[in-house]
Chains A and B, each alone.
Chain A
Amino acid sequence: MKHSKDPFEAAIEEEQEESPPESPVGGGGGGDGSEEGRAEIDQTAEEDERPVDVRRPAKKSKTSVVVTESKNKDEDEEEEEENMEVELTKYPTSADPAKMAKMQTILSQFTEDQMSRYESFRRSALQRPQMKKLLIGVTGSQKIGMPMIIVVCGIAKMFVGELVETARVVMAERKESGPIRPCHIRESYRRLKLEGKVPKRSVPRLFR
């Protein structure tokens, strides 16, 4: 799922074609998929649409795109903007239409539960100001470039994913259910270390 084109984007792209970008819930609910699922995405994914507008100036009139953008971008700091934009995947025109169609069919069959979980998966991100603070503290340098922060946030998010998924595997092995407990995370962390996915310190950590 992480490699394929984003179905949110696919869904949003479809709706973009149907309605002007300024409409608050751009074509909300339009599409073949389950109405409920789509409506949920549309309303909550509204803020996703605005940055998507930026990427499709050819298809819409440039001025209208510009106007929408100016309302949203000028007030936001660059960091906040990019928070929204990181959720978006590859440029739609470079997306493989077959893959997109596949994702569409999968998405349309999601239950509410699955859809809400998927939404959390897509929208959650480590906050860039916090990450910047952390990186400045670790490196000691005063300036950290935005691309670096973005990359590290992405890497860390995927690492969290590996941790949680491995923890679930551990729970399945132990035949336990319910919320993930710290012991599962610790076992999952140990396994990731064995796989070599965790950077090893050349000097062991003292006085944690």
Chain B
Amino acid sequence: MSGNTPATAASSSKSKAAGTSQPQEKRKTLFQKELQHMMYGFGDEQNPLPETVALVEDIVVEYVTDLTHKAQEIGSKRGRLLVDDFLYLIRKDLPKLNRCRELLAMQEELKQARKAFDVDEKELVD
């Protein structure tokens, strides 16, 4: 990349590291590291190909974006965007629905447990 000014040298080296050929493109990855472990867990190799991980990240971001837009459409009818809007959207997909219920139930329990912990701490202090 001859002729790069120092200002763009950093970005071009970043894009080189990311493997893109164009110096202007900056791949801002959100979930790259975690996605690698996740893909290994789901069946890919220990070190998935970087282009595969990048593609999966793009797909996931698009999925979340579209899902959220749809949820917002539903939520706008009643005012705010709520968790229930997401649950409504995945109602047909039972594994996902059950998993979400699990996660929400766990979160509730942990909240309760933390509350109990705070109360205990106060009792200890007194």
Contact = CB atoms under 8 A, between A and B. Distances in A.
Interface of A: 2-3, 51, 54-55, 57, 62-63, 65-66, 69-70, 73, 81-82, 85-86, 88-91, 117-127, 130-131, 133-135, 138-139, 141, 145-148, 150-152, 154-161, 163-165, 167-168, 178-182, 185-186, 189, 196-201, 205
A81 to B, nearest CB: 8
A41 to B, nearest CB: 14
A126 B55 CA distance: 16
Contacts of B86: 148, 151-152, 155
Contacts of B59: 163, 185, 189
A50 B95 CA distance: 27
A160 B30 contact: no
A134 B30 contact: yes
Contacts of A118: 41
A179 B48 contact: yes
Nearest to B94: A3
Given A125-B34, A151-B86, A90 B104 contact: no
A182 B96 CA distance: 25
23 contacts: A3-B95, A54-B114, A66-B120, A85-B110, A90-B106, A126-B60, A138-B64, A138-B68, A151-B86, A152-B67, A154-B99, A157-B38, A164-B56, A178-B45, A179-B48, A180-B52, A181-B51, A181-B52, A182-B49, A182-B55, A185-B52, A186-B55, A200-B66
B4 interface: no
Interface of B: 30-31, 34-35, 37-45, 47-49, 51-52, 55-56, 59-70, 72, 81-83, 86-87, 89-90, 92-93, 95-96, 98-100, 102-107, 109-110, 113-114, 116-117, 120-121, 124
Contacts of A134: 30, 61, 64-65
B102 A89 contact: yes
A151 B87 contact: yes
B89 to A, nearest CB: 7
B31 A145 contact: no
A157 to B, nearest CB: 6
A55 B109 contact: yes
Residue among A86, A168, A182, A199 facing the most chain B CB atoms (10 A cut-off): A199
B42 A161 contact: yes
A155 B51 CA distance: 23
